[in-house]
Structure 1
Amino acid sequence: MSDDATSAPVPLELMQGNLDMISGVIPWGRRLGFRMTKVEKGHVWGLQPWKDRLVGDPDTGVIHGGVLTAFLDNLCGTAASSTMERARFVATLDLRIDYMRPADPRRDILGEAECYHVTRSICFTRAWAYHETRDKVIATAAGAFAITKPRLPSTMGGQDDA
């Protein structure tokens, strides 16, 4: 196969039309149950449903902080990938999470992330987790993501690779 095949354009519309696949391609992402709800170039929105098995403190019913970390990391990575002109993965180099307050018990969490700067090899992102609006944020994230070499869609795996 030619090198051109590994760098074929992947329009943003392809990502927009496959949000469920994007959310479910990573086994731990499927297990946590989060999903992408909207994607634009450099910006993505998502939902982390509350589930009893994701509770960090049974006395409060609040979702575990590690779930928020995974959710925000995935949103940031997807926002970074959405800036690419060609099919590229990104890998987390650095991710800082600041927890502002606990999530409300037994409530789904909304999130959004943006990729605000891209160099030849690194994407820089920020993200927010909240309930109704970002006015009362639960956690924020700032991340740096390495841009990987182009890959053919056939090498990207699927839901049966768990």
Structure 2
Amino acid sequence: MQMIFDAIRHCKVLGITIDSVEGKQLTSKLPYSKKIVGNPATGVIHGGALTTLLDTTCGMSVPIALGEFRISPTLDLRIDYMSAAKPNLDIYGRAEVYRITKNVVFSKGIAYQDDEHQPIAHCVATFMLLPKDVADTDMVQHSIENLND
């Protein structure tokens, strides 16, 4: 699974990695970095980085729930921001799928720092479930190889 995260350009740029997989829950980590600070006066990271963390974590919970890799583009992502992130601390995203239909997968997640019971944000997301043959191995391998360009 980490290899897939490493192959996604925005994960590579932001440094997003897998922290853990427990059952059908995926937890990823966005390391604090001054290059993603949205407000230099406070040191708080930009909301776009947090959105990326949640979207990616929810999206990558799909293959965990399915037990196989399937391309599943985001259809909808709704985030409720509950508090500002604290400067100089990593942010964790935890997500899990709660419903799978023939064409749509439903996921929910939270973002937190030192206490998962005090979330920075929570979200719900839906993903389109594309046919298995769309994830052609040669196409995926070609995309991974082109990351180094």
TM-score (norm 2): 0.90
Show the counterpart of 1:115.
97
Show the counterpart of 1:153.
137
Alignment of 1:51-90 (within 5 A): 51-90=33-72
For the pair 1:125 / 2:111, whether they are aligned, the reply is no
Shift of 1:25: 1.4
Question: Counterpart of 2:12 in structure 1: which amino acid?
Answer: R
In structure 1, distance between residues paired with 2:71 and 2:115: 29
Shift of 1:23: 1.5
In structure 1, distance between residues paired with 2:93 and 2:107: 13
Deviations, residues 24-46 of structure 1 (Å, cap 9, x unaligned): 21112211111112224532011
Contact 1:43 1:114 in 2 (8 A): yes
TM-score (norm 1): 0.83
Contact 1:27 1:159 in 2 (8 A): no
Show the counterpart of 2:16.
34
Shift of 1:133: 2.4
Question: Counterpart of 1:123 in structure 2: which amino acid?
Answer: V
Provide the secondary structure at the position in 2 that maps to 1:158.
helix
Provide the secondary structure at the position in 1 that maps to 2:85.
coil
Question: Counterpart of 1:127 in structure 2: which amino acid?
Answer: G
Q: 1:45 to 1:103 in 2, by over 3 A?
A: same
For the pair 1:96 / 2:78, whether they are aligned, the reply is yes
Provide the secondary structure at the position in 1 that maps to 2:65.
coil
Q: 1:107 to 1:85 in 2, by over 3 A?
A: closer
Q: Which runs of 5+ in 1 are unaligned?
A: 1-14
For the pair 1:44 / 2:38, whether they are aligned, the reply is no
In structure 1, distance between residues paired with 2:124 and 2:58: 8
Identity rate, percent = 35
Q: Which runs of 5+ in 2 are unaligned?
A: none
In structure 1, distance between residues paired with 2:23 and 2:99: 12
